[in-house]
Amino acid sequence: VEFLYCDLASMKSIRQFVQRFRAKNCPLHVLVNNAGVMMVPERKTEDGFEEHFGLNYLGHFLLTNLLLDTLKQSGTHSHNARIITVSSATHYVGELHLNDLQSRCSYSPHGAYAQSKLALVLFTYRLQHLLTANGSHVTANVVDPGVVNTELYRHVFWVIKVAKWMTAWLFFKTPEEGASTSIYAAVSPEMEGAGGCYLYNETRTKSADVAYDEELQRRLWTESCKMVGISDESSRVP
């Protein structure tokens, strides 16, 4: 195991990480996008993005795009490279506000978190469409880990914290159990060549209806490229 530092809340840090990784000239067969914050007070990343959207979504969007060439070079016809992005069941109640992605008009910690998780599902489906259109040996899937007993809940209301402390042993998954579907997506032979899936408990599941809106996927992708400062290569793909 080798550690390379990367702060997903910093576009500069992400670009520096990718440079360091590329310098190693290593193949990249699996990328798991798993960083995140949940229901934090209203605050911004160093780049001025609302923290849920900037870290949970835009950080992974930029990281994935900057590593895409390496992933494409690493995948083969019989062994595709795999991109796994961790979303949440919260995306089912999320609303994507394309005119206010930074939640400036009305900030709600739960709303901002749900929007970031919905954005990850939309991103995954659009990414798989582009990978397929380009004939790339890379698949992209999105995972719902379930309710997992981690420090992600540090910013929730104290009443919820108490309830979590009392019931975690019964209703919450352990971190190991929470990781199982991500691992399944990353290494299972059953997922070889399969992309554009929403997985829960190692099973392909239907995501929110709005996530299948291809026009919304395209618009979010285009806007995301502008926000992180990369060219929108998808404009040539229907």
* 151 vs 17: CA distance, rounded Å: 25
Residue appearing with tokens 């059953």: 190
| Concatenated DSSP letters of 8-33 | TT-HHHHHHHHHHHHHTT----EEEE
Longest alpha-carbon distance in the chain: 53
- Domain locations along the chain: 11-233
* 7 vs 55: CA distance, rounded Å: 9
Q: Which stretch of DSSP H or E encloses residue 223?
A: helix 214-228
* Count of Cβ atoms closer than 10 Å to residue 38 Cβ: 22
- Is-catalytic flag, 212? no
**What residues form DSSP beta bridges with 203?**
200
| Catalytic residue (choose from 57, 92, 113, 198) | 113
Residue appearing with tokens 């992933």: 71
How far is residue 59 CA from its own chain's centroid? 9
pLDDT tens-digit profile of 144-185?
886 645 555 454 544 454 444 455 544 665 767 768 899 999
51 versus 109: which is more confidently predicted?
Answer: 51
Report, at the CATH architecture level, how domain 11-233 is classified: 3-Layer(aba) Sandwich (3.40)
Q: What is the pLDDT of residue 225?
A: 97
Total-model pTM = 0.88
In this prediction, residues 207-222 reach a mean pLDDT of 97
- For the ranges 4-13, 87-96, 162-171, 198-207, the lowest mean pLDDT is seen at 162-171
In this prediction, residues 53-67 reach a mean pLDDT of 98
